[in-house]
Structure 1
């Protein structure tokens, strides 16, 4: 009896094994669902006119002579063109008043070119500059530098810019004038 019971139990276990293992039918393939690409946020279009203000720090050196620094700030006006593929070119005018013994006013006419980084624009700039002083008159030179501007709204940007100014021998006096400015800027774009 022991043998019959053992044989019956073994046969029952062997017959039940496929039921515990799953169905003998072919499994249905899982549906092929392609991943959905999330579009990258569009960077803003920089094409158009802008006007605004800037304020910051300026240090102007006379050689030979003293160095002086102080607040510098004024108005900005310009135009940018978004040429695509991340690049932007433009031009602008700056007119600043300076709290500085060496320079009273600074005018600049600059070109700029840059690359868009998300909602921002990193750029290099350069062009013409003119300085007005209370004691030595007015003379011109060149300006070079760079900056970063960030769109905070569709028609509003803020940024910063650092510029080096070189006027050479100011009014052929034999005294060289150069300076560096670092300013924050805010622009309304239209």
Structure 2
């Protein structure tokens, strides 16, 4: 009998300890929603602008030299929200000298600009005409060449932007020489928007 009482007492103590805390309903937490993706607001590119550019160019075929160029630009961009459209006129003095064979003296570009802004960035493409002046074998030559390019601008403030542009000019039979004067340029620019 002692054994039965001892066993029963042990079961009561162990069983009582198991139920001492009572039953708690499990807590189910609501799922956490992912953080929203924040798309930066596009900067305003609308208005007239003027600026400076500096870069490096390489003509080939008729002249095979390379060198620096620098100049001024001005234009207008219309901002339509999801895209921009505008035009630019740029003049550049050049130092692409090949000695007695000749040199590229300067070039003036008139370009259409089209791009898609993303925040403060504006990737764009250009299409237009470039009036190139050169000395070839001691003779002054000039011709209008088609120009195509790609570039990107970054709006540092509401009025200032910086950028870079890669452009290619194709000169078939440059000014009656019978040879092509193709030219690739890569430049950096800064502009002030009014």
The TM tier, using the shorter chain, reads 0.7 to 0.9
Structure 2 stretches of 5 or more lacking a match? Answer: 98-102
What is the root-mean-square deviation in Å for CA atoms of aligned residues? 2.5
Q: CA deviation at 1:52?
A: 1.0
* Distance of 2:37 and 2:183 partners within structure 1: 48
* Distance of 1:13 and 1:130 partners within structure 2: 100
Distance 1:30 1:171, change over 3 A: closer
Q: Tell me if structure 2 keeps the 8 A contact 1:136–1:171.
A: no
Aligned length: 185
Aligned to 1:71: 68
Aligned to 1:181: 185
Q: TM-score, normalised by structure 1?
A: 0.82
Aligned to 1:167: 171
Pairing of 1:73-152 with structure 2 (within 5 A): 73-85=70-82, 87-101=83-97, 102-134=103-135, 135-152=139-156
Structure 1 stretches of 5 or more lacking a match? Answer: none
Q: TM-score, normalised by structure 2?
A: 0.81
Q: CA deviation at 1:57?
A: 0.8
Runs of 4+ in 1 over 6 A off after TM superposition: none
Between Structure 1 and Structure 2, which shows a larger proportion of strand residues?
1
